[in-house]
């Protein structure tokens, strides 16, 4: 077993903030999410990502607090608003994933699938056959740790939209730095995951192993900083504008169809949400800031029509005509067939790998998995749209999911889970009519079921 340099840095940072200033834990977690394909530990030619390594460290550190909290169950004040529903959904997802991942590859052994370890392109005309493997257990382990993170977040350390913001800033800034620093980019430090074919410098991939994954993070960053631009104060808007400029620069050098389609969908969704809010406000109108911004965007767009057509229509046309597009489409179609052939149960995590997150969940976890993941996402996005303090995190989560549905089919993607945590478990004071203005309740996870853990007692 080898602990990498960044693995040591992560260990020291997690332990340090845990002992000195626990509220900073979310920043360290967010930083690790900007390196999802960088190994913290290498064991027998298998790498362990920084995010999941950080979760293991947190679990070890939290054992005393959990024991103390369990010993005080029933003796503390009742929680104002419990977080039982999202917690139960997360636990139910883990239970079902365990059952179908252990049973599915045996029940449906021999079924034609796209094996994760062989790549999509190579299996279009020669698909693999389903059988139990270590990959099933590995993917189940990642989901288990992700659910554990949801249970810890907001209990053992506070979370808010900055959990996602730290990820977006690091990912966007380092991607921009790589544009000018490629000759001295620390490849051996960051690109150390065994078995990964890291992209060449011709297309920008940032801290990730291929351009499409950077495209996912750029889509999420556009949603996050776009919301910050609208809802922040003057200083926050300036920072968000700078970040959006960096997102645009990274996007142009990235050339990812995932980012292109993802950004288009996120922008369209933002326009729909803004229109609905205006219509429901009872005072329909347009802000001067919005008018000026729209005029600038349209004006710049009119002067760049040829370039925009080449960047969008040209890129999309080239992608649609490519062998990769044909292979990805075939994998998604086959995954739908796998869903029906497994009677809607799925074949287990690690049993099939298409090119879309929805196709992956449907084929691997079946209708039950789709319902559980969909419920968690619905609760998170609904709460984000209700509270401006966490709305940027909601748009980031939405961006991640859109891009993942387009072309990044990994349920273990850390950005999904920190987005869920930030939206579901951020403390949001709510005021009740007739009160003196003091917070009357804390929504969705503000009060834990184990009081000692919320106070951060050891």
For residue 262 the two structure tokens come to 């993802």
Q: Is the pLDDT of residue 155 over 60?
A: yes
Residue 130: what pLDDT? Answer: 92
Domain ranges in the chain are 80-449
Q: Residue 288: its pLDDT value, please?
A: 62
pLDDT of residue 203: 83
Q: What sections of 182-210 are H helices per DSSP?
A: 187-190
Secondary structure string (H, E, C) spanning 302-320:
HHCHHHHHHHHHHHHHHHH
Of 132-146, 254-268, 304-318, which has the strongest mean pLDDT?
132-146
SS3 49: strand
**Structure confidence at residue 94 as a pLDDT band (50, 70, 90):** very high
> What is the pLDDT confidence band of residue 295, given thresholds at 50, 70 and 90?
low
Mean pLDDT for the stretch of residues 420-431: 82
pLDDT (mean) for 184-211: 86
Q: In the predicted model, is pLDDT for residue 421 greater than 60? A: yes
The predicted-structure confidence for 405-418, as pLDDT tens digits, reads as follows: 988 889 999 999 99
User: Any idea which of 103-107, 181-185, 223-227, 312-316 has the lowest mean pLDDT?
Assistant: 312-316
Query: What secondary structure does DSSP assign to 358-370, as a single string?
Result: HHHHHHHHHHHHH
| pLDDT top residue among 392 and 304 | 392
Lay out the sheet containing 46-49: strands in order across: 2-3, 39-43, 46-49
The burial class, CB within 10 Å (0-12 / 13-18 / 19+), for 261 is buried
Enumerate residues 6+ apart whose C-beta is below 8 A from 97: 140, 143, 144, 349, 365, 369
Q: Out of 3-12, 373-382, 432-441, which region has the weakest mean confidence (pLDDT)?
A: 432-441
Give the number of residues written for the chain.
Answer: 458
pTM: 0.85
Q: What pLDDT does residue 286 have?
A: 57
Dihedral pair phi/psi, residue 244, rounded to 5°? -65, -35
For 207, phi then psi, to 5°, come to: -90, 10
Q: Worst-scoring range by mean pLDDT, 8-17, 143-152, 259-268, 339-348?
A: 259-268
Residue 278 has a pLDDT of 75
441: Cβ–Cβ under 8 A, 6 or more apart, which residues? 80, 81, 429, 430, 432
Cα separation, 25 vs 100, whole angstroms? 33
> Per-residue pLDDT tens for 322-374?
556 777 788 889 999 999 999 999 999 999 999 899 999 999 999 999 999 99
Q: Are 58 and 14 in contact (CB under 8 A)?
A: yes
Name which residue leads in pLDDT, 125 or 244: 244
Instruction: Specify the higher pLDDT residue, 270 or 456.
Output: 270
What confidence score (pLDDT) does residue 343 get?
95
Helix axes 257-280, 391-407, angle to 10 degrees: 140
Average pLDDT over residues 220-237: 90
Question: Average pLDDT, stretch 200-221?
Answer: 90
* DSSP-derived secondary structure for 402-456: HHHHHH---TT-HHHHHHHHHHHH---EE--TTS-SS--EE-SSSS-SSHHHHTT
Predicted local confidence at residue 373, as pLDDT: 97
């Amino acid at each position: 077993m080898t602990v990498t340099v960044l693995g040591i840095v992560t260990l020291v940072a997690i332990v340090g903030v845990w002992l000195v200033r626990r509220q900073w834990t979310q920043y360290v977690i967010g930083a690790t999410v900007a390196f999802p394909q960088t190994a913290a530990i290498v064991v027998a030619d298998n790498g362990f990502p920084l995010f999941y390594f950080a979760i293991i460290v947190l679990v070890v550190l939290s054992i005393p607090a959990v024991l103390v909290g369990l010993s005080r169950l029933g003796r503390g004040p009742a929680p104002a608003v419990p977080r039982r529903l999202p917690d139960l959904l997360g636990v139910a997802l883990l239970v079902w994933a365990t059952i179908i991942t252990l049973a599915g590859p045996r029940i449906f052994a021999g079924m034609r699938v796209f094996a994760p370890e062989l790549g999509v392109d190579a299996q279009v005309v020669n698909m693999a056959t389903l059988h139990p493997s270590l990959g099933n257990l590995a993917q189940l382990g990642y989901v288990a740790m992700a659910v554990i993170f949801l249970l810890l977040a907001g209990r053992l350390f506070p979370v808010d939209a900055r959990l996602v913001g730290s990820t977006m800033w690091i990912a966007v800034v380092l991607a921009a730095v790589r544009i000018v620093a490629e000759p001295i980019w620390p490849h051996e430090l960051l690109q150390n995951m065994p078995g990964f074919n890291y992209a060449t410098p011709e297309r920008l991939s940032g801290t990730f192993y291929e351009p499409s994954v950077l495209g996912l993070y750029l889509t999420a960053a556009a949603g996050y900083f776009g919301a910050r631009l609208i809802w922040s104060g003057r200083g926050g808007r300036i920072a968000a504008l700078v970040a959006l400029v960096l997102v645009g620069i990274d996007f142009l050098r990235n050339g990812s169809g995932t980012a292109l389609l993802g950004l288009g969908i996120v922008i369209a969704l933002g326009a729909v949400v803004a229109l609905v809010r205006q219509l429901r406000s009872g005072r329909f109108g347009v802000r001067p800031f919005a008018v000026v911004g729209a005029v600038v965007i349209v004006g710049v767009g009119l002067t760049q029509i040829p370039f925009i057509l080449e960047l969008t229509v040209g890129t999309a046309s080239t992608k649609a005509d490519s062998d990769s597009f044909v292979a990805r489409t075939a994998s998604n179609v086959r995954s739908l067939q796998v869903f029906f052939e497994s009677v809607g149960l799925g074949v287990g995590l690690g049993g099939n790998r298409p090119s879309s997150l929805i196709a992956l969940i449907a084929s691997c976890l079946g209708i039950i998995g789709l319902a559980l993941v969909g419920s968690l996402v619905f609760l998170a996005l609904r709460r984000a749209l209700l509270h401006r303090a966490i709305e940027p995190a909601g748009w980031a989560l939405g961006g991640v999911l859109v891009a993942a549905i387009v072309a990044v089919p990994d349920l273990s993607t850390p950005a999904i889970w920190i987005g869920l945590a930030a939206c579901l478990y951020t403390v949001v004071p709510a005021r009740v009519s007739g009160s003196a203005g003091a917070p009357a309740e804390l929504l969705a996870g503000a009060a834990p079921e184990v009081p000692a853990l919320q106070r951060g007692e050891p």
